[in-house]
Amino acid sequence: MKRRDFLVSSAVGAVGAGASRLGGVAAADDSLVDVRLQQTRRKILIAGGGYGTAFIRYAAQLTGKPRPKMLYLPTASADSQQGIITWYQNCAPLNVEPSHQVSFIASTRQDKSWEEVLLNVDAIICSGGNTLNQQVIWQAHGIDKILRQAWDRGIVLGGASAGSLCWFDEGTTDSRPKELSVVKCLGFIKGSHSPHYDAEPGRRPLYQKLIASGQMQPGYACDNDAGIYFEDNTVKRVVHTRAAAKCYHVTVEGGKAVEHILEPERIS
């Protein structure tokens, strides 16, 4: 759904269950696809929290397109209407073509397959929310496999909170009752992740405890407003939109968790 159409439907109280008007997926010879995939850089831009206009602008630049198609996937937020509105507001200053795709759908209103929607854009940005629910829904629909295809094709992926955690092997989540716990995710980026590292008091000590004990793989922690751009599994750039916000590579040394600060560059 384009921004213009979305605002009209919001006025009558309905966001709608469909995606934006996206064209069909072009067919290609399998051998040509294989060669193209070998040459494609796989890109993910995450943030610990706060994926606003600056991060969306950077993700758009990573597509290499003059006016990229940027799709918002709010599964983790249960397709929050406010989150979708905020997405379009954050995209408004940018030269991008924003759209969104909800996950709570009905076949009578959704006339395109997940492949047609998700593989016909230049970037997919995932919302924050409940990571465990997000993963279960994606697996039930096969969206997890299609996102892997998108990554392999060079479609830029990203997000903050659940939208950053989802790309790793595992990480810490508040998706379950009572306390923070471990969630297993897509495994595109090897290792673990902790979002909200400076914003939620329980995150840092639990992450360090799990890594030090061997219960969780070493990995990357991001403060709110700070993030990491990965190509494949390599850190290519560390960025932030707030002076105090940092990222960390957390490893084990001598049986203890050790934080290695990844100094970020400011983006705006």
Amino acid at 122: D
Q: Which pLDDT does position 61 carry in this prediction?
A: 98
| Residue 117 lies inside a defined structural domain of this protein | yes
For 112-126, the pLDDT digits (tens) are 999 999 999 999 999
Q: Which pLDDT does position 200 carry in this prediction?
A: 87
Q: Which pLDDT does position 178 carry in this prediction?
A: 77
| Residue 25 lies inside a defined structural domain of this protein | no
| Residue 26 lies inside a defined structural domain of this protein | no
- Looking up residue 235, the CATH number of its domain turns out to be 3.40.50.880
Q: Which pLDDT does position 29 carry in this prediction?
A: 46
| Residue 63 lies inside a defined structural domain of this protein | yes
Two tokens at 106?
A: 């009905």
| Residue 24 lies inside a defined structural domain of this protein | no
Q: Which pLDDT does position 74 carry in this prediction?
A: 98
| Residue 110 lies inside a defined structural domain of this protein | yes
CA dihedral 93, 66, 84, 243 (to 10 degrees): -60
Catalytic residue among 100, 193, 196, 240: 196
| Residue 178 lies inside a defined structural domain of this protein | yes
Q: Which pLDDT does position 174 carry in this prediction?
A: 80
Q: Which pLDDT does position 17 carry in this prediction?
A: 39
Amino acid at 205: P
Q: How many domains does the chain have?
A: 1
113 is catalytic: no
Catalytic residue among 103, 161, 175, 192: 161
Rounded mean pLDDT, 204-220: 95
Task: Return d(Cα 220, Cα 252) in angstroms, integer.
Answer: 12
Lowest mean pLDDT among 98-107, 174-183, 255-264: 174-183
- Other C-beta atoms closer than 10 Å to the C-beta of 249 total 17
- Other C-beta atoms closer than 10 Å to the C-beta of 41 total 12
Q: Which pLDDT does position 141 carry in this prediction?
A: 97
Helix (H) or strand (E) holding 126: strand 123-126
In terms of Cα–Cα distance, which of 250, 187, 251 is closest to 222? 250
Q: Which pLDDT does position 180 carry in this prediction?
A: 78
Q: Which pLDDT does position 250 carry in this prediction?
A: 97
Task: Return d(Cα 262, Cα 244) in angstroms, integer.
Answer: 12
Task: Return d(Cα 195, Cα 191) in angstroms, integer.
Answer: 14
141 is catalytic: no
Range of the domain at 114: 3-19+31-266
Rounded mean pLDDT, 228-235: 97
Q: Which pLDDT does position 182 carry in this prediction?
A: 84
Rounded mean pLDDT, 178-196: 91
For 6-63, the pLDDT digits (tens) are 443 443 333 333 433 333 333 334 444 444 444 689 999 999 999 999 999 999 999 9
| Residue 107 lies inside a defined structural domain of this protein | yes
